[in-house]
Structure 1
Amino acid sequence: MHSLVFACDSFKGTISSERAAELLEAAARSTLTDVACRSLAVADGGEGTVAAVTSATGGELVSVEVTGPLGAPVTATYGMLPGRRAVIEMAAASGITLVPRDALDPLAASTYGTGQLVLDALDRGATDVSLAIGGSATNDGGMGFARALGARFLDADGAELAGCGADLALVRSIDLSGLDGRLAGVSFHVMCDVDNPLVGPRGATYVFGPQKGADAAALERLEEGMRSYASVLEGCFGVAVADEPGMGAAGGLGAAARLFAGAEVVPGVEWVLDAVGLDEALAGADLCVTGEGHADAQSAHGKVVSGVAARCRAAGVPCVAVVGGMDADATELLGCGVDALVPTVIDAAPLADVLAHAERNFSLAAQRLFSLVGIGARMGGRS
């Protein structure tokens, strides 16, 4: 009996984590004589986290209408999990994919909708909230998020600010009297895999602002505002977060979640792998197959493949990664616990063709993989 575990990330835009597992199982059963398969949907704390964790834990997807990054209503989905836990992707409410590229404007964008999702989870009884904060369209220091939770940001005249990026420089004081009291009884986690501080050359504005639509003038304005805002935060909470690693994630939402919600910052992929029970699934397994759309140097740092491979190494389970494509730097994964890399694409072809035939290519790669597994088993005297 071959005991197999499948734990792939999604192949962005082509194959979901769940579908990858289905294709792997079909190939394994058609190639090997006697197999037991266990599939886990996984993610790295970014896109797909809610779907993967909710599916793996038997939770419920909840859809809510909230305020999008530029003020228009959007329907966002999060997960309510067993044990009064909630998992939320800020990108669902405040993400860059919700805004047309030519309309991106971090001076106007706000994380208010993300705070609304947290409120909805609290209304449904959540006492443990985990927030994935990748893919934001915002650079508001998390003001919108905090406003939705009851905080008020006041200017020099005591007037309340809307809490967008343009308001950062105008904040002079913060009123916490209306902050939702339920937050004190909530275990709050922020899934974050970047170490960028709030301000400076590696801070929220200069590193991530350009991809959110900020030109040179907007970057200067946002950076000046973020420095001023960080000073106000320190005066309010007595905590200096301007230069603290990770506080610049999602345009400063990392800092706001820590200060206003008491959040603990955790590595995204590790949180997900714990939540879906990968360690338990690996107990007694003969092989684990993981994968992602493209393997490169970044794959070895905080991504699904490296995270799964490290757990496999600790458990003494061989690990193979099936990847849509790879470059030379992908071999770094071989030092992280990956025993072999299997690309799905073996012929030169236009990208459009590769994407159009993603499932076929993946299935063929899976068949090649399990044919080799079968050869190895026969060489080892197993049938």
Structure 2
Amino acid sequence: MFPGSVQVDVTGLMVAQPPGRQLRPDGVCWHTPGVRVLICPDKFAGTLSAPEVAQAIADGWAVPSDELIRLPIADGGPGFVDVLATALDGRRIPVHTVDPLGRPARGEILYANGTAYVESAQACGLHLLTREERNPNTTTSYGLGLLLAAAVETGAAQVVVGLGGSAVNDAGAGMLAALGAAPVDAAGYALPYGGAPLITAAALTGPPRLRQVALVAATDVDNPLTGLHGASNVFGPQKGATRDDVLRLDAALEHFAAVLEQAFGLEDLATRPGAGAAGGLGAALIALGARVTSGIGLVSELIGLNRELDAADLVITGEGSFDHQSLRGKVVAGIAAGARDRGLPCVVLAGRNETGHREASAAGVTETHTLVQHFGSVATAMAEPARGLRELAGRLSRQWSR
């Protein structure tokens, strides 16, 4: 029992009430003298992890009577395993893998309650390459295949693959090769790694070695594999693709989708929602029988987000770049929608903002504040994000507290 006071609910039963909370005059429910603030950000890519962002915001909040709930979150991209590891009673298993250029890289599997969780960005992440190294014509998802194979070897009945933040555009061809189902040309020769060579793919060398494990693709976006909103057009440029590259890659992925359809007896693979996630890794996982789910939805359920939203007065979320992609299944979109459905104000803190006010408002965002605007400098925003978040949080606390 909490010391002090009690709560009377509608049934008339007496239940414990946390210190500092008081009965409403109607005796039905309690409230806090301050504000219950739910802090649930994503990472600020390249600078701070989601837990570090949440901590910086909490450190800057200047009203001691307010109750701060830190709940860092991920959408399937970088930080997926870290966030889940804070919420699940599992063990982290280190794995040797390779990066998008085939260099040695460190990965890990989170194993909890018969399920193995794998993060594609640990092997395929854009953050693993310098800007000069980015080239989706040649980068490969082979490293994810090594992680997936290791996850299967844990004996897990189910493997959940977090998708997002990738440097690849090979529709999972490299991943399939690591699992024993490498794409080959009409003469039976293995293709070079990368997205561009897939235009000559004719078949796969064999069935993938997965021991019939159940797969789940936790995607950070719902884009199809090809077309105007596909992996190459939308995400290719940030991975180093020129306009000519985008056209070449889109054609290659459309061709490879037909190869996958033939190999696995599928139809309309290229147009399925989520098939374009992580450079088309979604398509390969769908071909392997994976169930596609929202990354933010899955993480939210596992960490108890809805329960915390129900009890919140104010929601603060954010990410490094708040842009049009943010509202297509990423963390901010999921958090803002949950706040909107409950009539809660939702404040976004970001490194920069490229969305329109009307678009953000329709998604459930009450207001947006950025580090670039706060500092007046991109360089300072990148160099001192924690300080900027603390200062923004201090200003917000005086604005929103009772």
TM-score, structure 2 as length reference:
0.79
Shift of residue 111, structure 1, vs aligned partner: 1.2
Match of 1:306 in 2: 333
Counterpart of 1:255 (choices 283, 298, 318) is 283
Per-residue CA distance 1:113-172 (angstroms, 9 max, x = gap): 101101111212332222233233323331211122222434333444455435423433
* Two-structure CA RMSD over aligned residues (Å): 3.1
Trace 1:85-100 onto structure 2 (pairs within 5 A): 85-100=115-130
Secondary structure of the equivalent of 1:54?
Answer: helix
Quick check: 1:70 aligned with 2:93? no
Measure the CA separation in 2 of the matches of 1:14 and 1:163.
Answer: 30
SS of structure 2 residue aligned to 1:196: coil
| Greater than 6 Å deviation, 4+ residue runs | none
145, 151, 165: which one aligns with 2:181: 151
**Alpha-carbon contact 2:204-2:263 (below 8 Å) kept:** yes
How big is the shift at 1:265?
1.9
Q: Report the counterpart of residue 380 of structure 1 in structure 2.
A: none
Q: Distance in 2 between matches of 1:24 and 1:82?
A: 30
Instruction: Report the CA distance between 1:278 and its aligned residue.
Output: 0.4
- Listed one character per residue, the Cα deviations across residues 82-107 of structure 1 (whole Å, up to 9, x for unaligned) are 21223322222123333343344434
Given residue 203 of structure 2, which amino acid in structure 1 is its aligned partner?
Answer: S
Cα distance in 1 between the residues matched to 2:46 and 2:140: 26
Partner deviation per Cα, 1:243-283 (whole Å, 9 max, x = no partner): 444323333322111112x1122223222222221012223
- Deviation per CA, 1:24-65: give whole Å up to 9, x if none: 33444x5233x4432111123322222222223344443322
Whole-Å separation in 2 of the counterparts to 1:219 and 1:286: 45
State the SS of the aligned residue for 1:130: strand
State the identity %: 35
Partner of 1:31: 63
Residues 355-364 or 222-231, more deviating: 222-231
What is the alpha-carbon distance in structure 2 between the residues aligned to residue 290 and residue 189 of structure 1? 24
Which of 88, 94, 101 aligns to 1:57? It is 88
1:188 matched to 2:216: yes
- Greater shift in the superposed pair: 93-102 or 137-146: 93-102
For the 8 Å contact 2:224–2:273, the answer to whether it is kept is: yes
Counterpart amino acid of 1:57?
A: L
- Give the conservation status (yes or no) of the 8 Å contact 1:91–1:134: yes
Match of 1:288 among 308, 315, 320: 315
Equivalent residue runs for 1:267-282 within 5 Å: 267-282=294-309
Quick one: distance in 1 between partners of 2:287 and 2:197?
A: 19
**2:132: which partner in 1?**
102
In structure 2, do the counterparts of structure 1 residues 169 and 79 end up closer, same or farther at CA, with 3 Å as the change threshold?
A: same
Hey, what's the Cα distance between the residues in 1 that align with 2:137 and 2:378?
Answer: 35
Q: Distance in 2 between matches of 1:151 and 1:175?
A: 5
- Pairing 1:138–2:172 present: no
For the 8 Å contact 2:223–2:231, the answer to whether it is kept is no
CA distance in 2, matches of 1:138, 1:347: 33
Q: Is the 8 A contact 2:136 2:167 kept in 1?
A: yes
- 8 Å CA contact 1:192, 1:265 repeated in 2: no
Residues 202, 361 of structure 1: alpha-carbon distance in 2 compared, 3 angstrom cutoff: closer
Cα separation, 2, equivalents of 1:49 and 1:192: 10
Aligned residue type for 1:373 = W
- Structure 1: runs of 5+ lacking an equivalent: 377-383
- Is residue 201 of structure 2 the alignment partner of residue 171 of structure 1? yes
Greater share of residues in helix? 1
Between 1:247-256 and 1:111-120, the stretch displaced more is 247-256
Tell me by how many angstroms 1:300 deviates: 3.8
Deviation at 1:285, TM superposition (A): 2.9
With structure 1 as the length reference, what TM-score do the two structures score? 0.82
Structure 2 CA distance for partners of 1:59 and 1:369, relative to 1, 3 Å: farther
